[in-house]
Structure 1
Amino acid sequence: METTNCCEVEIEFEEKQKDIGIQCDLGKGNDLKTLEECPKHEKKSKESSIGNVLDVTNAAEIQFYTGFQDYEHIKFIFTIFGDEVNSLKYYPKMKTLKVPFINPCDQFLLVLIKLRRNMLFTELSFRLKVNKTVLSNIFITWVNYLYYKLKELKVWVPKQCIDKNMKYYGKINPCTVIVDCTEIKIEKPKNPLTQQLTYSTYKSANTLKVLVGISASGCVTFVSDAYGGSTSDRELFEKCGLIDKLEPNDIILSDRGFNVQDLVCHKDVTVNVPEFLKNTDGQFETSQLRRSKKNSSERIHVERVIGLAKTFKILSGKLDSKLVPLAGRIIFVCFMLTNFKNNIIR
């Protein structure tokens, strides 16, 4: 999350974000032991179990606590991480990790539970019989790890590929990307300048705003960094880096608030927005009405994807101030995880 003269995310979070990112280095170091390297005497005699939170054999419980259909689905996602999950460095940097043994797959499941249900670390601590600070450190480590790992996935799809894919299903591709902004409420910051930068007049609360882009098939292909809630949609579009991904003849579908055609005209990119009634004598022509209806029917999918991402309750409630430095990464992870769910467009 950067800080500029404009209303981007707050100054006081910048250093914290950098610290968290640095301390989640995935490389191996001599000053930090992994869970597997911890001596046996450093583990509690009674090992904690994810079974104290949910029954992994019960598909209904898995769906309720994680949002995924069953435990096999979660294990399938877990396989993409490879063996590196066995050598993660846990936040913050410590010489040893005095924690009970929780295998990496259970740690991943624990993170999904936190994202989906937004349970307090205190509650999870009681259930797992693990110190809540340890659970918090595991969560921070995994959010950083998932952020970098999921960022490696090449989810941006060029228009040519989308055209071929849509043609295979007998459909016409309406666009390259469908964009919209969404806001996540946060606790009111103590710094007055930060309060001003994050205050959203639309939500009447302090928020962080991100721009989300999806393909015509409903796959999340772009999630921006988090900016202060006072940032306008146009300003966010200009600064988020989406323009760099666009190519000549690309088409963007957006809401009326995105008056950004002048920002992409030099790349020969078209921005389709719903028609305005201004200068139409209060009535659309038939061609305008059809075009507007078609664009709206396609654009609504991005709102459905945003709604799907916000089934992770950590995004639908007010984000704890202690997690605000990680907000951009938490939001990114939640949206990327929706790509592993059933497609919203059938």
Structure 2
Amino acid sequence: MFRIVNLKEKPDVIQFYTGFDNYNHFMFVFNLFGDEVNFKVKYYPSLQPARGKHALTPPDQFYLTLIKLRRNMCNKELSFHFEVSKTSVSKYFITWINYLYCKFKDLNLWVPKETIDQNVMYQRKINNCTVIIDCTETKIEKPQNPISQQATYSKYKSANTLKVLVGISGSGCVTFVSDAYGGSISDRELFEKCGIINLLQKGDIILGDRGFNIQDLVSHMDVTVNMPQFLKKGFNQFEAHQLRQSKKLSSERINVERVIGLEKTFKILSYKLSSNLVPLGGRIIFVCFMLANFRKNIM
């Protein structure tokens, strides 16, 4: 039987199933939620507390949720391991995804420019851009509705996807994850709609790839967008200073690709998201990125 308390002396098992280093690391994250997980959590779909002699403890519910995210076990397999019904597995997972989403959404992870400048000045460890942005897509099962098929079809992935915009600080901490949009949306349109503009202030610096041709959207705010340059028409190569600048930007921008790579360690997002989980897709993606922030070595 899977019980987190039985794994205190098995850090390799905990790391395999949750991504956390050991039992103490797991409990540190769980204890951040406080006592409310024992009294205030209302379970889908009845919105009543979990009861009965076979009800899992809150730490085991959290553990089950992490296993589902990290290993993408089917509900039937999880029901065998935890000795609960498939219905209970679904109830716990949906409840905890919504709970984690709401708790993490309340956190203010955005790092303002003045804080970044202080780190650059005193620690000289990170670059001075406010946020490094990129988009990532998660494949989903093809919707039956033709309008949904069109809205979620990504030419880039040649599949139906959910697309989010991710922003990280120069040190690699995830500071922004947008809501999920259909894969047909462009990077520019997603940037414009997702709300990140409301977080920007005068003097901020954004680092993105060539898909984010967005300077006109933020120029009135005195915000700078740095991205690798396009090769001008009539030229077959960059000038030396342009090449140096592009290499420097690429070396800094690769950090967001590494963080996005952590998302794919959650196997639920490495395969097509089943149609019954697509309505929760945006929250699942958000929770996975927030959990990645608790890794000791993000970069």
Give the TM-score normalised by structure 1: 0.82
**AA in 1 matched with 2:15:** Q
**AA in 1 matched with 2:9:** T
Query: Residue in 2 aligned with 1:169?
Result: 123
**AA in 2 matched with 1:207:** T
**Partners of 2:166 and 2:298 in 1: how far apart?**
15
After TM superposition, list the pairs within 5 Å mapping 1:136-175 onto structure 2. 136-171=90-125, 173-175=127-129
**Partners of 1:97 and 1:146 in 2: how far apart?**
17
Give the TM-score normalised by structure 2: 0.95
Which is bigger in relative contact order (C-alpha 8 A, separation at least 6)? 1
**Partners of 2:14 and 2:287 in 1: how far apart?**
19
* Aligned with residue 196 of structure 1, among 140, 150, 164: 150
Greater alpha carbon shift after TM alignment, 249-258 vs 55-64: 55-64
Give CA-to-partner distance per residue, 1:134-166, whole Å, 9 cap, x none. Answer: 111111111101001011111000011011123
**AA in 2 matched with 1:61:** V
Displacement of 1:232: 0.6
Query: Residue in 2 aligned with 1:250?
Result: 204
**Partners of 2:74 and 2:100 in 1: how far apart?**
20
After TM superposition, list the pairs within 5 Å mapping 1:37-76 onto structure 2. 49-51=1-3, 55-76=7-28
| Matched position secondary structure for 1:82 | coil
Displacement of 1:94: 5.8
CA contact (8 A) 1:143 1:329 kept: yes
Is the counterpart of residue 78 in structure 1 residue 43 in structure 2? no
Displacement of 1:276: 1.5
Displacement of 1:128: 1.5
Give CA-to-partner distance per residue, 1:152-183, whole Å, 9 cap, x none. Answer: 11100001101112333224633100000000
Displacement of 1:52: 9.2
Query: Residue in 2 aligned with 1:92?
Result: 45
Displacement of 1:93: 1.4
Displacement of 1:109: 1.1
CA contact (8 A) 1:53 1:128 kept: no
**Partners of 1:279 and 1:190 in 2: how far apart?**
44
Q: Percent identity?
A: 66
Displacement of 1:110: 1.1
Pairwise CA RMSD: 1.7
Displacement of 1:97: 4.4
Give CA-to-partner distance per residue, 1:239-270, whole Å, 9 cap, x none. Answer: 00000100011000001011110000111101
CA contact (8 A) 1:183 1:209 kept: yes
**Partners of 2:144 and 2:229 in 1: how far apart?**
42
| Matched position secondary structure for 2:32 | helix
Paired residues, number: 297
Structure 2 residue runs without a partner (length 5+): none
* Aligned with residue 313 of structure 1, among 253, 258, 267: 267
**Partners of 2:277 and 2:5 in 1: how far apart?**
22
Structure 1 residue runs without a partner (length 5+): 1-48
